[in-house]
Amino acid sequence: MGDNRGPDRRVGDDDPAISTTDHIGLAETHSAHNYDPLPVVIAEGEGAWVTDVEGRHYLDLLAGYSALNFGHRNPELLAAAQWQLGRVTLTSRAFYNDRFAPFVTALSGMVGKDQVLPMNTGAEAVETAIKVARRWAYDVKGVPDGEATIVVAGGNFHGRTTTIISFSEDPEAYTGFGPYTPGFRTVPYGDADAVEAAVGPTTAAVLVEPVQGEAGVLVPPPDYLPRLREICDRERVLLIADEVQSGLGRTGTIAACEHTGVEPDAYLFGKALGGGVLPVSAMVANEEVLGVVRPGQHGSTFGGNPLAGALGSTVVRMLREGPYLADARALGEVMRTRLKEFGGAGVLATRTIGPWAGIDVDPSLASGRELCERLAARGVLAKEAHGSTIRLSPPFVVSEEDLNWGLDQVAAVLTDLRASAGSA
């Protein structure tokens, strides 16, 4: 006691003794090292901006991996949460709650499906889809029990559970965590022929990200999803779109699948569905798919809770009625135009879809990590994907002026790196 470094002492946001260094020191000592954060300790957020414990401001071009599509502390979402906090926050699914029906009705209606199975994290939505697809294969398709397979794409990111990492190709995510869950076949992303060759009478589903986010904002060829749709229809296989990151406006549309006019059998949503306040996720599909789940077979204590329902319904209303999709598209245009300037020495490729971009930097110029450190030093927060790729996913509430300023900082970091490479 009396020592502000001890775990007993409350870390107050107005306590000047707790500096960035102190916070990082305590965190490194008392938290598992399952992340390697940039050395920025965020204390407050508003809109597209955050402030650290020392009062420095940063433009947030990561937006919580798209969990913060509507920005930090969006007033509409805060109002919905605050209203609900004054009523009831958790009931469990042992009972109905009065936010549940409005939420599942709004979310299913948003994508033209019948039913929703609400969960919390994105990984749980993926786990739900795996269980539902297997059950559908046995009960509806007639696959012999225990033989169902699910076709997935190389380079995928679907979450961190033991089953999900069983079909990850990322050695960091996979190595040393076996034994692995069987029943998955991995084929290269963007290759419909490979999917066609992999599906057969025991295939339950093809599970795919319409745009691969963690892999570096990889947009597949335009005929990829339409061909998967054809193959799945022909072979009687469910097409499941993991839209946890790509959905809810990130590509300028409610679902990224819309860009190719493909309707999957199931959508998985998460991240932005909780409005940046809570983890809220869901599998959304028709009754002929979700109807295979009977009471007691799947669920979650927190899934469909009233606070989540209030936030999820508000997110759906904001997407349908608010300016957010139009704003996302306008920001996407700014990014598409500006990123063309970034081509040239040291930049191997840039990709954009909506306000979502991946920039592949020549690894000899800098690692993605170093780029992000240099960006943070200039007041911009971003996160590398794999290797030397950085991904930008601004919140939809960023002003064009601020976004342009942020992109100026990216350009300046690239210029600095080229200059030091040239003089080396």
Ligand X SMILES: *Cc1c(COP(=O)(O)O)cnc(C)c1O
State which residue, 65 or 224, has the beta carbon closest to ligand X. Answer: 65
Give the C-alpha separation, 297 to 312, whole Å.
24
State which residue, 20 or 161, has the beta carbon closest to ligand X. Answer: 161
Partner residues linked to 155 by β-bridges: none
Question: Which of the following is catalytic: 70, 100, 103, 157?
Answer: 157
| Site residues (CB under 6 A) for ligand X, limited to 279-318 | 279
State which residue, 214 or 360, has the beta carbon closest to ligand X. Answer: 214
- The secondary structure of 208-277 as a DSSP string is E-SSBTTTTSBPPPTTHHHHHHHHHHHHT-EEEEE-TTTTTTTTSSSSGGGGGT---SEEEE-GGGGTTT
| Site residues (CB under 6 A) for ligand X, limited to 389-408 | none
| Site residues (CB under 6 A) for ligand X, limited to 194-223 | 209, 213-214
Question: Which of the following is catalytic: 113, 271, 383, 396?
Answer: 271
**Interface with ligand X, residue 245, by CB under 6 A:** yes
- The secondary structure of 141-189 as a DSSP string is I-PPTT--EEEEETT----SSHHHHTT---HHHHTT--SPP--EEEE-T
**Length of the chain measured in residues:** 424
Active site residue 157: yes
Active site residue 383: no
User: Please, what is the minimum distance in Å from the beta carbon of residue 248 to ligand X?
Assistant: 12
Give the C-alpha separation, 49 to 46, whole Å.
5
Residue type, 374: R
Residue 225 sits at φ, ψ, to 5 deg, of -65, -45
**Interface with ligand X, residue 244, by CB under 6 A:** yes
Active site residue 396: no
| Site residues (CB under 6 A) for ligand X, limited to 127-186 | 157-159
User: Please, what is the minimum distance in Å from the beta carbon of residue 157 to ligand X?
Assistant: 5
In the shown chain, the binding pattern of residues 65 to 94 toward ligand X, with x for contact by CB under 6 A and - for none, equals x-----------------------------
- The secondary structure of 405-417 as a DSSP string is HHHHHHHHHHHHH
Cis peptide before 179 (omega within 30 of 0): yes
The SS3 call for residue 404 is helix
**Interface with ligand X, residue 372, by CB under 6 A:** no
**Can you tell me which of 60, 242, 327, 360 binds ligand X, judged by CB under 6 A?**
242
State which residue, 52 or 243, has the beta carbon closest to ligand X. Answer: 243
Name the residues annotated as catalytic. 157, 242, 271
- Binding-site ranges for ligand X (CB under 6 A): 65, 121-123, 126, 157-159, 209, 213-214, 242, 244-245, 270-271, 279
